[in-house]
Structure 1
Amino acid sequence: FIYFVLCTQIAFMLEAWFHRELPGGGGGAIDITALIVNLNGATDAPHLVMEFIQGGPASLIVLLDLLPRVDLPLHPSYIHRYYAATGLDARARRRVAGLVPQSRPYVSPSLLVRSLWSPAAVVADVQCGEGPGGAAALDGIVRGELAATAMDVLGVWLEHCAGGGGGGEMEAAERERMVARDRKVAAAELEVNLAANLPRMFDAGVADRVVAEIRKAFMGS
């Protein structure tokens, strides 16, 4: 049942994994894993964003969020429906607290990106130290508290967003504005996250082809 609903409501899904060895010959590398699922105009439910950036064997940046599709100060009922009534906010805060002392809040260098996150977003910078036990400590966190947190966020999204049960009634004009907003946000994220950063990780030609294909699938252009 969930699979059928997802197929009818998904506008775009991106599963990506990037690996790049860092220059200098020190054996360092950066790994980025992302799952982004954008819903279509049949519902106003949030999109799903899960992103993990590992810059070393003992460090990890985590972003888990149900990305809002409306301007939240103008739609307080949206906040209640998807972030309070679902229990997501309370569970997210409790889970993040469980990562302390290894975790601290992550602050994106992009003001635009930060403005898009929901108030219940799990955005953490997990640092387990440079000693020999750092990698093992991070592995334990990933398999334990972090995996449980990701499953919490995914479970809420599947039950309350992808299933279509929580969507509010929208007039045609309101739906059109929301879809137009989705496209603008997608374009901004594409430029900020991929078009700006991929050329730093890969050959310019490779980066251009990847961005072009994602832009075509994401925005039809």
Structure 2
Amino acid sequence: MAVSCACLQASTVSRISHSATTLQTLRFSRNQVSCSSSPRMEPLHAEPQSKFIEFPYVCAPQRELMVELMSSIETRLGSDLHPCTLPPDVQYYENPNGSAHGSLHVRSGIPSSLINLILGSWIHCKLPSGGAVNITTLSAYLRSSTNAPNFVIEFIRTSPVSLVLILDLPPRKDLVLHPEYLKVFYEDTQLDRHRKHLQELPVVRPYFSSSLFVRAVFSPSSIMVSIEANDDEEERIDDIIRDHISPIAKEMLGTWFDVCASVEREVGGDESAELERRDRIIKNKTIEIDLGLSYPRLFGQEVADRVLGVLRDILNA
């Protein structure tokens, strides 16, 4: 939900949780290229919480990257986070006919931490054509006691040869009114070089979400790209994830750890209130424009109400 999500995961669930791209992808999924089934994308049987960590439906390079990102979060932030306490039927859920599966993983920060919450999710949806859509999101939100950017990564895989990637440290202040914010978090960290590197690859093109709101919340250095290979070049997408996206994502998460999540910043009462208001708007907008529409269709109203009800409570806590 990246702003997700999505996603956003997605994500963001998003982007935060899933981004608004999720809805567009699923709405037009009948026109997408089909995913061929393969042993590596078969689901793994596990308990709800470990089911999320195993990322059972994605290709090996993406699974390895997501596991490494989660491991890095545990290593760097584990002592600042509460355990995941979601109900089992929210940690993992599916629709009645088994054509759509989802997992949600949330860890909130302890009171003394700068971390508000870590939110991860994935969705696997079989298509009538015989393929599948896989959406994987990981978002990290900071408290209003700091004004540093958040972190989000979202993969939207609509076929073996088609991938949308969203990767960013979304700003939490106006970059025009606060040029020092732009300098500290984006210029000094040279984040834009990662976007430039990916867009030099022949099969990579800029991606533009159909939602102007989603496009407005990301930074000028955000990576929002579409990767399209030929029908017989499935391994090319996997190679790009392993050789290019993986090192970039790990470096950007490291930058977020070092510059954003571990540095105390003086934030006044008025600014803190404004940050909290802004963060809440973005989180709720994610549910409103994406998940609230797509989840009932994918999972049925009962499952959607259960999962989104818990998610709303978490995001507005």
Distance 1:200 1:105 in 2: 29
- Does residue 70 (structure 1) correspond to residue 157 (structure 2)? The answer is no
SS in 1 for 2:311: helix
- Does residue 150 (structure 1) correspond to residue 267 (structure 2)? The answer is no
Deviations for 1:148-173, whole angstroms, at most 9, x for unmatched residues? 121121111111111125x3x32211
TM-score (norm 1): 0.89
- Does residue 195 (structure 1) correspond to residue 292 (structure 2)? The answer is yes
- Asked whether the 8 Å contact 2:167–2:224 carries over to 1, the reply is yes
Q: Which amino acid aligns with 1:2?
A: R
Deviations for 1:43-97, whole angstroms, at most 9, x for unmatched residues? 11111111101001111100001011112221111111101111212x2233223
SS in 2 for 1:38: strand
Q: Which amino acid aligns with 1:149?
A: I
Question: Greater helix percent: which structure?
Answer: 1
Residues 29-178 of structure 1 aligned to structure 2 (within 5 Å): 29-89=132-192, 91-98=193-200, 100-130=201-231, 132=232, 134-164=233-263, 167=265, 169-178=266-275
Deviations for 1:99-144, whole angstroms, at most 9, x for unmatched residues? x2111111101011110011110000111122x2x21111111111
Question: Greater strand percent: which structure?
Answer: 1
- With over 3 angstroms needed to count, the CA separation of the structure-2 counterparts of 1:95 and 1:193, relative to structure 1, is farther
Give the C-alpha shift of residue 196 in structure 1.
2.4
Deviations for 1:189-213, whole angstroms, at most 9, x for unmatched residues? 2212321222343223222222111
- Asked whether the 8 Å contact 1:63–1:124 carries over to 2, the reply is yes
TM-score (norm 2): 0.63
Which residue pairs with 1:19 in the alignment?
Answer: 124
Which residue pairs with 2:278 in the alignment?
Answer: 181
Q: Which runs of 4+ in 1 moved over 3 A?
A: 4-7
Deviates further, 192-201 or 172-181: 192-201
- Asked whether the 8 Å contact 2:147–2:172 carries over to 1, the reply is yes
- Asked whether the 8 Å contact 2:125–2:132 carries over to 1, the reply is yes
SS in 2 for 1:73: coil
Give the C-alpha shift of residue 182 in structure 1.
0.9
Structure 1 stretches lacking a partner, 5+ long: none
RMSD of equivalent CA atoms: 1.7
Give the C-alpha shift of residue 188 in structure 1.
1.0
Deviations for 1:14-46, whole angstroms, at most 9, x for unmatched residues? 1101101012xx321000000011100221111
SS in 1 for 2:125: strand
Distance 1:2 1:14 in 2: 16
Structure 2 stretches lacking a partner, 5+ long: 1-74, 82-108
Distance 1:104 1:209 in 2: 37
SS in 1 for 2:289: helix
- Asked whether the 8 Å contact 1:62–1:124 carries over to 2, the reply is yes
Identity level (%) = 36
